[in-house]
Amino acid sequence: MTAQLRFSNLTLGYDRHPAVHHLEGEVQSGALIAVVGPNGAGKSTLFKGIVGALKPLAGRIDRNNMPARDIAYLPQAAEIDRTFPITVYDLVAMGLWHRTGSFGGIGHSDRDRIEAAIRAVGLTGFEQRAIGTLSGGQMQRMLFARLLLQDARVVVLDEPFTAIDAKTCADLLDLVKRWHGEGRTVLAALHDIDLVKANFPETLLLAREKVAWGETSRVLTPDNLLKARRMCEAFDEEASECVAETA
Protein backbone atom coordinates (compact mmCIF):
# COMPACT_ATOMS: atom_id res chain seq x y z
CA MET A 1 0.00 0.00 0.00
CA THR A 2 1.01 3.61 -0.62
CA ALA A 3 1.55 5.99 2.28
CA GLN A 4 -1.03 8.78 2.07
CA LEU A 5 0.59 10.68 4.95
CA ARG A 6 4.09 10.35 6.36
CA PHE A 7 5.28 11.99 9.58
CA SER A 8 9.04 12.47 9.81
CA ASN A 9 10.34 13.63 13.20
CA LEU A 10 7.23 15.82 13.34
CA THR A 11 6.94 18.39 16.11
CA LEU A 12 3.93 20.71 16.26
CA GLY A 13 2.97 23.40 18.73
CA TYR A 14 2.08 27.00 19.41
CA ASP A 15 4.41 29.97 19.90
CA ARG A 16 7.34 27.56 19.73
CA HIS A 17 5.95 25.46 22.60
CA PRO A 18 5.66 21.84 21.38
CA ALA A 19 2.38 19.98 21.79
CA VAL A 20 3.27 16.95 19.61
CA HIS A 21 6.85 15.69 19.82
CA HIS A 22 8.99 13.84 17.26
CA LEU A 23 6.20 11.82 15.69
CA GLU A 24 7.27 9.16 13.20
CA GLY A 25 4.91 6.99 11.19
CA GLU A 26 2.85 6.45 8.07
CA VAL A 27 -0.87 6.53 7.30
CA GLN A 28 -1.54 4.13 4.46
CA SER A 29 -3.93 5.05 1.67
CA GLY A 30 -7.42 3.78 2.53
CA ALA A 31 -6.66 3.38 6.23
CA LEU A 32 -9.30 3.83 8.93
CA ILE A 33 -7.45 5.12 12.00
CA ALA A 34 -8.59 6.27 15.42
CA VAL A 35 -6.36 8.78 17.21
CA VAL A 36 -6.79 8.29 20.94
CA GLY A 37 -5.31 9.95 24.00
CA PRO A 38 -6.13 11.90 27.15
CA ASN A 39 -7.16 15.55 27.09
CA GLY A 40 -4.10 17.57 26.12
CA ALA A 41 -2.53 14.64 24.25
CA GLY A 42 -2.09 16.63 21.03
CA LYS A 43 -4.82 15.10 18.89
CA SER A 44 -6.30 18.38 17.65
CA THR A 45 -2.81 19.81 17.18
CA LEU A 46 -1.84 16.85 14.99
CA PHE A 47 -4.98 17.25 12.89
CA LYS A 48 -4.36 20.96 12.39
CA GLY A 49 -0.91 20.08 11.16
CA ILE A 50 -2.28 17.48 8.74
CA VAL A 51 -4.73 19.95 7.17
CA GLY A 52 -2.13 22.70 6.96
CA ALA A 53 -3.58 25.03 9.59
CA LEU A 54 -0.44 24.66 11.71
CA LYS A 55 3.12 24.58 10.40
CA PRO A 56 5.61 22.14 11.93
CA LEU A 57 8.09 23.47 14.46
CA ALA A 58 10.41 20.69 13.29
CA GLY A 59 10.25 17.73 10.95
CA ARG A 60 7.69 17.45 8.20
CA ILE A 61 4.41 16.02 6.95
CA ASP A 62 4.52 14.39 3.51
CA ARG A 63 1.05 14.33 1.94
CA ASN A 64 2.02 12.30 -1.12
CA ASN A 65 1.77 15.34 -3.44
CA MET A 66 -1.77 16.10 -2.28
CA PRO A 67 -2.43 19.77 -1.37
CA ALA A 68 -3.64 20.26 2.20
CA ARG A 69 -6.74 22.05 0.84
CA ASP A 70 -7.90 18.76 -0.67
CA ILE A 71 -8.22 17.16 2.78
CA ALA A 72 -11.75 17.27 4.21
CA TYR A 73 -11.67 18.44 7.83
CA LEU A 74 -14.28 18.37 10.57
CA PRO A 75 -13.12 20.56 13.49
CA GLN A 76 -14.39 20.19 17.03
CA ALA A 77 -17.95 21.44 17.53
CA ALA A 78 -16.70 24.18 19.87
CA GLU A 79 -14.80 25.76 16.97
CA ILE A 80 -17.97 26.29 14.89
CA ASP A 81 -19.55 29.76 15.22
CA ARG A 82 -23.21 28.87 15.60
CA THR A 83 -24.19 32.55 15.69
CA PHE A 84 -23.09 33.13 12.10
CA PRO A 85 -26.21 33.97 10.02
CA ILE A 86 -26.20 31.16 7.49
CA THR A 87 -28.67 28.45 6.57
CA VAL A 88 -28.11 24.71 6.55
CA TYR A 89 -28.28 24.67 2.75
CA ASP A 90 -25.68 27.40 2.32
CA LEU A 91 -23.26 25.92 4.82
CA VAL A 92 -23.48 22.48 3.21
CA ALA A 93 -22.93 24.11 -0.19
CA MET A 94 -19.59 25.39 1.09
CA GLY A 95 -18.34 21.86 0.55
CA LEU A 96 -18.18 22.73 -3.17
CA TRP A 97 -15.87 25.73 -2.70
CA HIS A 98 -12.76 23.73 -3.57
CA ARG A 99 -14.26 23.33 -7.06
CA THR A 100 -16.39 26.43 -7.63
CA GLY A 101 -14.39 29.02 -5.67
CA SER A 102 -15.88 31.63 -3.35
CA PHE A 103 -17.74 33.39 -6.17
CA GLY A 104 -18.44 30.44 -8.43
CA GLY A 105 -21.98 29.76 -9.51
CA ILE A 106 -23.96 26.71 -8.44
CA GLY A 107 -25.63 24.90 -11.33
CA HIS A 108 -28.45 22.37 -11.48
CA SER A 109 -26.12 19.40 -10.97
CA ASP A 110 -24.54 21.12 -7.97
CA ARG A 111 -27.95 21.73 -6.42
CA ASP A 112 -28.79 18.07 -6.93
CA ARG A 113 -25.58 17.10 -5.12
CA ILE A 114 -26.30 19.47 -2.23
CA GLU A 115 -29.80 18.10 -1.82
CA ALA A 116 -28.50 14.52 -2.01
CA ALA A 117 -25.91 15.23 0.70
CA ILE A 118 -28.54 16.77 2.97
CA ARG A 119 -30.81 13.80 2.36
CA ALA A 120 -27.96 11.35 3.07
CA VAL A 121 -27.52 12.73 6.60
CA GLY A 122 -31.25 12.85 7.35
CA LEU A 123 -31.77 16.64 7.26
CA THR A 124 -34.31 16.95 4.46
CA GLY A 125 -36.67 19.77 5.41
CA PHE A 126 -33.97 21.65 7.34
CA GLU A 127 -32.46 23.40 4.32
CA GLN A 128 -33.58 26.93 5.26
CA ARG A 129 -33.06 26.57 8.99
CA ALA A 130 -30.45 28.86 10.54
CA ILE A 131 -27.56 26.81 11.88
CA GLY A 132 -27.96 28.43 15.29
CA THR A 133 -31.31 26.66 15.73
CA LEU A 134 -29.88 23.16 15.30
CA SER A 135 -29.29 20.63 18.06
CA GLY A 136 -25.83 19.19 18.54
CA GLY A 137 -26.70 16.07 16.58
CA GLN A 138 -28.27 18.05 13.74
CA MET A 139 -25.19 20.27 13.58
CA GLN A 140 -22.92 17.24 13.16
CA ARG A 141 -25.20 15.82 10.47
CA MET A 142 -24.97 19.11 8.59
CA LEU A 143 -21.17 19.18 8.84
CA PHE A 144 -20.96 15.60 7.58
CA ALA A 145 -23.11 16.64 4.59
CA ARG A 146 -20.53 19.33 3.81
CA LEU A 147 -17.80 16.69 3.99
CA LEU A 148 -19.74 14.52 1.55
CA LEU A 149 -19.66 17.33 -1.01
CA GLN A 150 -15.92 17.81 -0.63
CA ASP A 151 -15.42 14.31 -2.02
CA ALA A 152 -11.88 14.23 -0.61
CA ARG A 153 -9.41 11.36 -0.60
CA VAL A 154 -8.52 12.06 3.04
CA VAL A 155 -11.08 12.84 5.76
CA VAL A 156 -9.96 14.13 9.18
CA LEU A 157 -12.57 14.14 11.97
CA ASP A 158 -11.89 15.83 15.31
CA GLU A 159 -14.23 14.40 17.96
CA PRO A 160 -17.06 13.70 15.50
CA PHE A 161 -19.28 11.81 17.95
CA THR A 162 -18.99 13.94 21.08
CA ALA A 163 -22.22 15.16 22.74
CA ILE A 164 -24.59 13.71 20.14
CA ASP A 165 -27.42 11.19 20.49
CA ALA A 166 -26.92 7.49 19.86
CA LYS A 167 -28.96 7.45 16.61
CA THR A 168 -26.92 10.28 15.11
CA CYS A 169 -23.69 8.60 16.21
CA ALA A 170 -24.73 5.36 14.51
CA ASP A 171 -25.80 7.12 11.31
CA LEU A 172 -22.58 9.14 11.05
CA LEU A 173 -20.48 6.11 11.86
CA ASP A 174 -22.13 4.41 8.89
CA LEU A 175 -20.91 7.28 6.70
CA VAL A 176 -17.38 6.84 8.05
CA LYS A 177 -17.55 3.15 7.14
CA ARG A 178 -18.86 4.08 3.70
CA TRP A 179 -15.86 6.36 3.12
CA HIS A 180 -13.55 3.59 4.23
CA GLY A 181 -15.28 1.16 1.88
CA GLU A 182 -14.72 3.61 -0.97
CA GLY A 183 -10.99 3.52 -0.31
CA ARG A 184 -10.72 6.94 1.31
CA THR A 185 -8.30 7.54 4.16
CA VAL A 186 -10.08 8.43 7.40
CA LEU A 187 -8.58 9.62 10.69
CA ALA A 188 -10.79 10.34 13.68
CA ALA A 189 -9.90 11.67 17.13
CA LEU A 190 -12.01 9.78 19.63
CA HIS A 191 -12.47 9.25 23.37
CA ASP A 192 -14.86 6.29 23.39
CA ILE A 193 -12.54 3.27 23.66
CA ASP A 194 -15.34 0.74 23.14
CA LEU A 195 -16.43 2.50 19.94
CA VAL A 196 -12.85 2.49 18.69
CA LYS A 197 -12.35 -1.21 19.43
CA ALA A 198 -15.59 -2.11 17.65
CA ASN A 199 -15.11 -0.01 14.51
CA PHE A 200 -11.52 1.11 13.92
CA PRO A 201 -8.94 -1.51 12.90
CA GLU A 202 -5.95 0.78 13.50
CA THR A 203 -5.20 3.18 16.35
CA LEU A 204 -2.58 5.80 17.16
CA LEU A 205 -2.35 6.28 20.93
CA LEU A 206 -0.94 9.74 21.51
CA ALA A 207 0.30 11.48 24.65
CA ARG A 208 2.08 14.41 23.01
CA GLU A 209 4.32 11.74 21.57
CA LYS A 210 3.53 8.32 20.16
CA VAL A 211 2.76 5.74 22.84
CA ALA A 212 1.75 3.00 20.40
CA TRP A 213 0.52 2.76 16.82
CA GLY A 214 -0.86 -0.27 15.03
CA GLU A 215 -3.63 -2.85 15.30
CA THR A 216 -6.22 -1.51 17.71
CA SER A 217 -6.35 -4.58 19.95
CA ARG A 218 -2.58 -4.41 20.44
CA VAL A 219 -2.53 -0.65 21.04
CA LEU A 220 -5.43 -0.13 23.45
CA THR A 221 -4.15 -2.30 26.27
CA PRO A 222 -4.58 -1.28 29.91
CA ASP A 223 -0.82 -0.79 30.25
CA ASN A 224 -0.62 1.49 27.20
CA LEU A 225 -3.63 3.55 28.30
CA LEU A 226 -2.15 3.99 31.76
CA LYS A 227 1.19 4.97 30.24
CA ALA A 228 -0.51 7.59 28.05
CA ARG A 229 -2.34 9.10 31.00
CA ARG A 230 0.84 9.28 33.08
CA MET A 231 2.79 10.83 30.21
CA CYS A 232 0.22 13.61 29.81
CA GLU A 233 0.20 14.20 33.57
CA ALA A 234 3.99 14.45 33.51
CA PHE A 235 3.86 17.00 30.72
CA ASP A 236 1.34 19.06 32.69
CA GLU A 237 3.59 19.05 35.75
CA GLU A 238 7.00 19.40 34.10
CA ALA A 239 6.26 21.43 30.98
CA SER A 240 3.89 24.09 32.19
CA GLU A 241 4.94 26.43 29.38
CA CYS A 242 3.43 24.09 26.79
CA VAL A 243 0.04 25.23 25.59
CA ALA A 244 -2.47 22.46 26.24
CA GLU A 245 -5.15 21.86 23.61
CA THR A 246 -8.75 20.93 24.22
CA ALA A 247 -8.74 17.48 22.69
pLDDT score at 245: 38
In one letter, which amino acid is 107? G
Question: Cα angle at 212 between 211 and 217, to 5 degrees?
Answer: 135
pLDDT score at 71: 95
Q: Give me the CATH topology for the region 1-66+187-247.
A: Rossmann fold (3.40.50)
Enter the pTM of the model.
0.90
Q: Render the chain in DSSP notation, one character per residue.
A: --EEEEEEEEEEEETTEEEEEEEEEEEETT-EEEEE--TTSSHHHHHHHHTTSS--SEEEEE-TT--GGGEEEE--GGGS-TTS--BHHHHHHGGGHHHH-TT----HHHHHHHHHHHHHTT-TT-TTSBGGG--HHHHHHHHHHHHHHH--SEEEEESTTTT--HHHHHHHHHHHHHHHHTT-EEEEEE--HHHHHHH-SEEEEESSSEEEEEEHHHHS-HHHHHHHHHHHHHHHHH-TTS-----
pLDDT score at 111: 93
In one letter, which amino acid is 102? S
Going residue by residue through the chain, which has 247 residues, state the pLDDT in tens, using 9 for 90 and above.
689 999 999 999 998 889 999 999 999 999 999 999 999 999 999 999 999 999 999 999 999 999 888 899 999 887 888 889 999 999 999 999 866 555 456 778 899 999 999 999 999 999 999 999 999 999 999 999 999 999 999 999 999 999 899 999 999 999 999 999 999 999 999 999 999 999 999 999 999 999 999 999 999 999 999 999 999 888 754 443 333 333 3
Q: Domain ranges in the chain? A: 1-66+187-247
For residues 220 and 205, give the distance between their C-alpha atoms in angstroms, rounded to a whole number.
8
pLDDT score at 236: 58
pLDDT score at 243: 33
pLDDT score at 105: 63
